[in-house]
Chains A and B, each alone.
Chain A
Amino acid sequence: MAVQPITSTNHAPHTVQPIPVILNGRTLEHNRRMPLNTDWVEAVRVNTSAVERRAATHVARRTVKKETQAAWLLRAIACMDLTTLSGDDSADRVRRLCAKARNPLQRHIVEGLGIEELHLTVGAVCVYHAFVETAVKALEGSGIPVAAVSAGFPAGLNPLAERVEEIHRSVEAGAQEIDIVITRAHVFNGEWQALYDEVAAFKEAAGPAHLKAILGTGDLMTLRNVARASWVAMMAGADFIKTSTGKESVNATLPVSLVMVRCIRDYAERTGMAVGFKPAGGIRTAKQATDWLALMKDELGRPWLEPSLFRFGASGMLGDIERQLEHHLTGRYSATYRHPIA
């Protein structure tokens, strides 16, 4: 079978060469739906204490400094789904976000870092369905995809037909990426077939758009539930698995992320297919950004540092990154108000 390297969905002209998606020497394909194998779901073993220890020590084992740090922060921008998901969102706010997405860094920072040729943009802009058209229009010509949260976001408790229809409408409105939420009850009840069918239906509804399956890890409570839900979502054909809605009491954490990326790794080893990962919610600082990048690099490798396989769901993080980059250039600590808001 011909191998299709996964290329960035971010069509910004800076793409030097597509990074081949290789894991432990094996070239991987895009994820496709496969039959549900509940043995894999039931075989999940997650030791919470050990996972927490690994997550806590990994942060202490890895750090990046100086130019490397700057480069990694730029990478975080490239992998960022710049997001606004508030009840008081307005068209103007979305347009402002899109403007920031096109030019995430102030000109003097771009020039100071010497990265003009990267034409750096964020990975995507993520909004509610109501603002998809606004965003698509505002991003026209930038190559930046619009992601829509969908399927009854954030609780996922609307009737299934309505959730599927919502996806159709967002895709029609121009969304190239769809972030759906799963029915958490299916996980609690061990209704793997129902969960699988649901995600598979969403994937089909999304058509060519990339499907990110939000597991609602804060609601799932246990790491074993997170792992089981990850397996089902991947088998059902999700392009990405994503931690949280940002609306749960606890959102993306490193232990949860570690469990999910380990699932992605095992899935790739068993099936030869690559699934992306998106931590979302609660990631606000530049330091967190590099922590997560290091986790992806060590657990899955370089291909998972591309926006095609890794995204941050974040709104406030860009501002902190911009401040850190300014500090890198000037040696002075910057203030938030000196950088344009998203």
Chain B
Amino acid sequence: MSIAEKFYTMEYGAAPEDPKEVNQWLERHHRRFEEFIGGAWVAPASGEYQTTSDPSTGETLAEVAKGNTADVEAAVAAARKAFPAWQALSGHERARYLYALARQVQKHSRRLAVLETMDNGKPIRESRDIDIPLVARHFYHHAGWAQLLDQEFPNYTACGVVGQVIPWNFPLLMFAWKVAPALAAGNTVVIKPAKYTPMTALAFAELAMEVGLPPGVLNVLTCDAKTGQALIEHPGIDKVAFTGSTEIGRVIRKATANSTKKLSLELGGKSPFVVFDDADLDSAVEGLVDAIWFNQGQVCCAGSRLLVQERVAEMLYTKVRARMETLRVGPPLDKAIDIGAIVSPVQLETIRKMVDQGVAEGAKCWQPSNSLPEKGCFFPPTLLTDVHPAATVVQEEIFGPVLVGMTFRTPSEAAELANNTVYGLAASVWSENINVALDLASQVKAGVVWVNCTNQFDAACGFGGYRESGYGREGGREGMLEYLTPKWLHSLPAAPHAAVKISVPDEEEGFEPAGEPPHANIDRTVKQYIGGKQARPDSGYSFPVYGREGELLGEAPLGNRKDIRNAVEAARNASGWARTSAHNRAQVIYYIAENMIQRRDEIAHGLARAVGEDQAAVEVDLSIQRIFSYAAWADKYEGVVHHPPGRNITIAMPEAVGAIGILAPSEAPLLGLLSLVLPAIAVGNTVVAVPSERYPLVIGDVYQLLDTSDLPGGVVNLVAGRPAELAKTLAEHDGIEAIWCFRSDEEANAVRAASIGNMKQVFTNDGHEYDWFNPAQAEGRWFLQHATQVKNIWVPYGE
């Protein structure tokens, strides 16, 4: 076409980024890459290689090692060997390495961007302007955390060796999100990039060699998912971090259920994109482009569920369709391309099937008229309307450039629809009214909420999900905590294998014959405490509780799964507790202490029969102090405001997790129970707690206190019974968001295994016996941290 003709047509021509430098780099490696273990390139034990290709052309880029379990062994061994010296470095020394890595990423930014685009298929604009700059930013930010570690996390230490598995959608960025905090905190790393996209991780390993990162600190394994699982299961791994699908997240939960490995999971999503009728609709349309037509929609936090207020729905849909016509789908190395290639033929097929299914279920499908490249994995931007919450395409993550659109009438309906999902990763809210926007932001169950923007990321702002989108945060202070453990935790004694003599009758053997009934207690009836009321156990049974000398202390209600069901329902119905003011919660909790002071002697007297007079006195006195302590915390465990680049504030708010199931320890029947219940309710959670079998009668004292202290019914529910059995029901219950089990390893393992269903958060004693009498260990931030999850609300401003 002549210039004169181009002058007439005014089409965009080709604007390819030159891949010459990257091809030369690949050639220098003879297009074959070994694994990076112990600071050197190591041939795979299998001797085999697999290929990785450019999804936009189908052409092979390079061969990479096919790692197997022998390589896992070697890598974990290298990381373990490197750990003591790496951890022993000063924060400053580690900061220098991280800074050098940040610099090195910047120096080679274009090579990394082009390589990423060739391996993954994402547009060069994105890898160049978003992925790689964020990688550098992440290493800079975490160089800072390394430098400040001793000052900012004085009581914490590294976890040890970290096993990390990352996805293919943001290969190097996810690599940075995993590696930077791990190294900053003093851990050593074995990381497995995704099979489709190993190249930038290998290129990064080369940069690590260039800056002289000590051998074994960072190890990169290229292997299949099965070998990846071997990495996760390896006993030499102390912490597992995973980003990927919820399905694989479950596999990882299962694989680590019998271990105390610290776990952070960043999983799938079906994030709502809510547009109110007072939004800047044109800007909301561009928001959608950034939400679902970014990275071909292969984004865990993609705003894939459009919820638009009825009054402006047609107008918005019309604008969206018009905008879709101007999206340019094509070769990702072209600098003027909006949508590149889907990562693999398999993923392309998955997207196709999902869209077909959506249409089969009644969705109206709209795709722009633009043509797609004939070769390579491409899928057009797609809008599905006439869909309903029951439709598969509304419920399930498509992980492609496919948007589903629904309408709502009222803000409360918007919140209901937004939260009508098993996921909770992100949300985007569009309104020119800050009250409306922040109101929804506070209601939506998601780890990240973007007001009038979407898919904004910064190393200082935590990122991570609620519900089945996983737990743990990446970025910021909360992200660092995922790679640290309290120093005192390691020095605690091991938890007893079997708890104290279990006086709860065995199901088969029935009750032991009761001894002499203690006359003093015969008239005292302890019931379950559910929804603010004393309730007889559903089973209609009670069980005898014995003292230290084997004497009968009284009878406790024998709870069963129905009591748990009722208690969970009561706990869920009491969720308004999270919205009461912190001052109000503090008052109620202080009042509990006040009432306990009044009844100190009576409670101590009863407890003494189970734990002896000395411990009973200390337990009650410390309980009063602990209650005061959490009343104090109630209005002081607060968030921070981040200042990410640009005119933005990001409000990092700790929010209650929800309904928490608690299995109290036996060491201190009263103090242990309260040490877990109080941090939970101080920050707004509701609780279903099971007292230890050692002295379950304690709930009778506790609920009388609660009853007289203005605590709303259902905030704390107490169910006595066989802890192991009740634990299973609690752990399996989808209405419970987190479960805390401070008992034996066996019980912790069972709880971990049973709680995979809704991916509930699990907090255990990690095989240690906590010292409940030591406030430095038994109260404060460590517990509050587990009682909350951080929601980051991005609020741009400017007129």
Contacts and interface: CB of A to CB of B under 8 A. Distances in A.
Given A49-B452, A222-B799, A262-B282, A66 B7 contact: no
B444 interface: no
B12 A68 contact: yes
B2 A49 contact: no
B129 interface: yes
A62 B3 CA distance: 19
Given A47-B283, A50-B286, A51-B283, A66 B2 contact: no
B286 A54 contact: yes
B798 A48 contact: yes
A45 B432 contact: yes
A114 B7 contact: no
Interface string B265-281: 00000000000001111
A46 B432 CA distance: 8
Interface stretch (A5-13, A70-78, A132-140, A238-246): A70-78
B13 interface: yes
A27 B351 CA distance: 36
A222 to B, nearest CB: 5
Contacts of A62: 12, 336
B326 interface: yes
A88 interface: no
A34 to B, nearest CB: 20
Interface in A287-310: 293-294, 297-298, 302, 305
A185 interface: no
A293 to B, nearest CB: 8
Interface in B1-45: 1-4, 6-8, 10-15
A45 B12 contact: no
B432 A114 contact: no
A68 B646 CA distance: 33
Nearest to A117: B4
Contact of B13 (A49, A66, A114): A66
A3 interface: no
Nearest to A262: B282
Given A50-B286, A64-B336, A74 B13 contact: no
A238 B73 CA distance: 75
A194 interface: no
Interface string A28-55: 0000000000000000011111111110
A223 B280 CA distance: 12
A2 interface: no
A65 interface: yes
Contacts, number: 108
Contacts of B283: 46-47, 50-51, 54
Given A50-B280, A72-B10, A224-B799, A67 B432 contact: no
A61 interface: yes
Nearest to A49: B796
A118 B125 contact: no
B452 A50 contact: yes
Interface residues of B, number: 42
B3 A63 contact: no
A66 B15 CA distance: 8
A113 interface: yes
Contacts of A223: 799
Nearest to A301: B326
Contacts of A64: 12-13, 15, 336
A305 B10 contact: yes
A46 B281 CA distance: 8
Among B3, B6, B12, max chain A CB count under 10 A is at: B3
B737 interface: no
Interface string A104-122: 0000000001110110000
B280 A46 contact: yes
Contacts of A161: none
B647 interface: yes
A71 B15 contact: no
B3 A74 contact: yes
Contact of A24 (B4, B284, B286, B322): B322
A61 B453 contact: no
A38 to B, nearest CB: 17
B446 to A, nearest CB: 20
Contacts of A66: 13
Contact of B3 (A24, A47, A48, A115): A115
A16 interface: yes
Contacts of B338: 61
B797 to A, nearest CB: 7
B280 A118 contact: no
Contacts of A297: 10
A1 interface: no
Contact of A68 (B13, B326, B647): B13
Contacts of A118: 4, 7
B6 A67 contact: yes
Given A68-B14, A70-B3, 6 more contacts: A49-B453, A64-B15, A68-B15, A71-B3, A71-B7, A293-B10
Interface of B: 1-4, 6-8, 10-15, 125, 129, 278-284, 286-287, 290, 318, 322, 326, 335-336, 338, 430, 432, 452-453, 646-648, 796-799
21 contacts: A16-B8, A24-B318, A24-B322, A47-B283, A48-B798, A49-B453, A54-B283, A61-B338, A62-B12, A64-B13, A65-B14, A67-B13, A70-B3, A72-B6, A74-B3, A75-B7, A113-B3, A118-B4, A269-B318, A298-B326, A302-B10
Closest 5 CB pairs of A and B: A68-B13, A71-B6, A50-B283, A49-B796, A47-B280
